[in-house]
Structure 1
């Protein structure tokens, strides 16, 4: 599709373009690199980390605002067994594990713009059979839509030619005030369990209760500095869209609610994001938070985790909503919209 504004060029010479949408109290910009939300504004306030040029997305801003996959999060040992075959995937995390689909996962490739409307964009990506070690040719479609008064809806669909692990996630880094740190945000997550991880951030296989631990966000409280890059096992939803989390800033009064069809929510506290450029000013530690709705990490290697395998003839569909408001709006449902 022609149009959009130039945003930069890859080493191959391919041009990356930027597209603008708006509705209600939100406006957003999406670039074709990684199907990335480069900018998101609520009543004029920027609420995500982003850059005004392409190069930071190859370095400090890697994955920021992108659609990551074909398997979001980590696969331990960069391997898994499926239907009697062992598959070895790209070890792009610490040289021994796979992160976000490998070194050239969905978040690190140019997508194709398929449809532009005033309030939505739809992009597509083709991942070949054997790409990054995964079986099956995978065709992915991601749609961002803005819905009044202030909801960003992310819908991702995929089809495959062979059975394959499939989990895509929107990897936004959210900023709710001007303090420069997300550790003071208050957070509530509807999860009674979480996944403990080893020193490489790979799930141990245990499904642990949050009660009495720093992972208990069932009641709203500050995020703090305990160090989070963990999956929360969400309340059962059977694939239904339901509200699962709320983050808010006591300083600004801005809140964000998250609704999703997914079984897991990865909380990352931004501990390693220091040094990112924002309006020319370096950021300190923990400048933003990520709340990534997805399958449980390392699911292909744990039979006791929810099934993450997409098979031919089936359609993978993930839907996640991010809804913004001030003050009493935090006490309202995340969105009045039914799944569609």
Structure 2
């Protein structure tokens, strides 16, 4: 069974539990039921030394107080932004909580990140959490039942699987909002991390980070198809603010695992690498542009660019853009979303391998684990 301990309590006094999953000596993940939050991921570096990969805290106090920028949480009912907090479903208009300038972000004022989830089952390598979101929560229609399973299917993989059902049509777009720093868990910046995104297009946004509706070919600072430093052109992105955009994933789903390539990241100091695969059509790549120097896990500061996010999801404001993916879940349907993070370490950046599963529009690494010759 997973090791279980109490890491705090909610504002109303309900205990908050932490579950520690491990698979051998190469991967340990700690998750709490408040916000279905990944608190910590430990993997070895190229010399075999275990280290932290995520930004966050070891107890629940900062999360309960609402003082974290979604560190490791599940964002929902709708991750990312909804323009002006309004939308319609089947001709009926809805207004949801506005909490990010003129827009709604990550489910509103009390999104899934601020809810206490229920443990359905846990083992040494798996944890399943449940949440019931009642009709009218944050303005959303329909009773929604959500399940998230974190598992370690191998000693090098973290798998996140989401599912949901509803009794009335409602938008849903879930993601995990972990901030990654493969070097030291956020003590220094990530600008020297090397990243590659399997995307030939991205979604431009307006001054409030709402999509314009265009799907634009990558170029300049937005072209991350070749592995290179995160900081190589970051000052040219979003008027100097950095990356906070959705990229459009290339190619179809793999016949092997039903997923597609998303990204690979390598830290040349620790030697750690991470490969992300998902069945979602987009990924929000965010470079911690609004981290303000809050005290970190070990007493250091989580300052600007000290972490990056790779939030697999459907496109922002898709509920209001007819040519984006339909995010309305209806009675009798089941929402499903799978993302896998694969970890490893090497003295030098592993090179990409060609795959027979090349997608339309350019090169692809198929299941993307084959992108590393390790």
Per the normalisation by structure 2, the TM-score is: 0.85
Structure 2 Cα separation of the partners of residues 314 and 262 of structure 1: 17
* Residue in structure 1 matched with residue 4 of structure 2 by the alignment: 4
Work out whether residues 256 and 330 of structure 1, in 8 Å CA contact, stay in contact via their aligned partners in 2: no
Structure 2 Cα separation of the partners of residues 324 and 246 of structure 1: 10
* Residue in structure 2 matched with residue 262 of structure 1 by the alignment: 280
Q: Does 1:284 align with 2:303?
A: yes
* Residue in structure 1 matched with residue 42 of structure 2 by the alignment: 41
State which of 324, 330, 355 in structure 2 corresponds to 1:305. Answer: 324
Structure 2 Cα separation of the partners of residues 233 and 219 of structure 1: 15
* Residue in structure 2 matched with residue 23 of structure 1 by the alignment: 23
Count of residues in correspondence between the two structures:
334
Structure 1 residue 147: deviation in Å?
Answer: 2.4
SS of 2:220 mapped into structure 1: coil
* Residue in structure 2 matched with residue 215 of structure 1 by the alignment: 222
Which residues of structure 1 form unaligned runs of 5+? none
Work out whether residues 257 and 330 of structure 1, in 8 Å CA contact, stay in contact via their aligned partners in 2: no
Between 172-181 and 2-11, the greater mean CA deviation after superposition:
2-11
Structure 1 residue 329: deviation in Å?
Answer: 5.7
Q: Does 1:205 align with 2:206?
A: no
State which of 224, 232, 256 in structure 1 corresponds to 2:247. Answer: 232
Structure 2 Cα separation of the partners of residues 39 and 297 of structure 1: 27
SS of 2:183 mapped into structure 1: coil
Structure 1 residue 49: deviation in Å?
Answer: 1.0
Structure 1 residue 59: deviation in Å?
Answer: 3.8
**Alignment CA distance shift 1:199-1:156 (3 Å):** same
Structure 1 residue 202: deviation in Å?
Answer: 1.0
Work out whether residues 255 and 330 of structure 1, in 8 Å CA contact, stay in contact via their aligned partners in 2: no
Structure 1 Cα separation of the partners of residues 279 and 173 of structure 2: 12
Structure 1 Cα separation of the partners of residues 368 and 181 of structure 2: 18
Q: Does 1:314 align with 2:320?
A: no
State which of 147, 171, 183 in structure 1 corresponds to 2:177. Answer: 171
* Residue in structure 2 matched with residue 108 of structure 1 by the alignment: 114
Work out whether residues 268 and 291 of structure 1, in 8 Å CA contact, stay in contact via their aligned partners in 2: yes
Q: Does 1:55 align with 2:61?
A: yes
Structure 2 Cα separation of the partners of residues 229 and 308 of structure 1: 21
CA displacement 1:190-217 (0-9 Å, x = unmatched): 111111111111111111110x231111
SS of 1:214 mapped into structure 2: helix
Work out whether residues 43 and 53 of structure 2, in 8 Å CA contact, stay in contact via their aligned partners in 1: yes
Work out whether residues 22 and 118 of structure 1, in 8 Å CA contact, stay in contact via their aligned partners in 2: yes
**Alignment CA distance shift 1:152-1:319 (3 Å):** same
SS of 2:268 mapped into structure 1: coil
Q: Does 1:97 align with 2:103?
A: yes
SS of 2:113 mapped into structure 1: helix
Structure 1 residue 334: deviation in Å?
Answer: 4.8
Cα-Cα RMSD: 2.0
**Structure 1 ranges of 4+ moved more than 6 A:** none
